[in-house]
């Protein structure tokens, strides 16, 4: 049994050409979107990796410091370890707010222009 290919839908018929994608990629608007993303994501990524590596290095080379009891059985290592999780969630929340406020409107404008307002 031969299966028939359905006719292209309106969305498929309106896909941008390669030239249109390249033109958008080279546009100032797309460059600004990329700059906005990079200026937020790269510094935070570097800062978080440095913070993580500091924790690892302190754990390996500053055992006495990390073992310092703060109260009860809670020591510096535990507090800094929990802080790793807290900063991960804070960065995710902060990025979500940044993306919603700065990146998504720019991306939506580019997308709607590429899709012809569909």
pLDDT digits (tens, 9 = 90+) for 97-115: 999 999 999 999 988 888 8
pLDDT attached to residue 3? 62
pLDDT attached to residue 6? 59
pLDDT digits (tens, 9 = 90+) for 29-70: 999 999 999 999 999 999 999 999 999 999 999 999 999 999
25-33 LR contacts (CB < 8 Å, sep 24+): 29/106, 29/109, 29/110, 30/110, 32/106, 33/103, 33/106, 33/107, 33/110
Higher pLDDT, 4 or 81: 81
Distance CA 15, CA 110 (A): 14
The answer to whether residue 19 scores a pLDDT higher than 90 is: no
């Amino acid at each position: 049994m031969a299966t028939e290919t359905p006719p292209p839908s309106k969305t498929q018929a309106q896909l941008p050409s390669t030239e249109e994608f390249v033109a958008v990629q080279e546009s100032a608007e797309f460059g600004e979107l990329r700059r906005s993303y990079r200026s937020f994501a790269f510094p935070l990524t570097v800062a978080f990796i440095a913070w993580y590596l500091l924790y690892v290095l302190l754990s390996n080379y500053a055992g006495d410091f990390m073992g310092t009891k703060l109260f009860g059985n809670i020591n510096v290592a535990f507090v800094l370890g929990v802080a790793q999780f807290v900063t991960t969630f804070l960065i995710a929340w902060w990025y979500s707010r940044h993306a919603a406020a700065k990146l998504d409107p720019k991306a939506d404008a580019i997308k709607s222009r590429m899709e012809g307002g569909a």
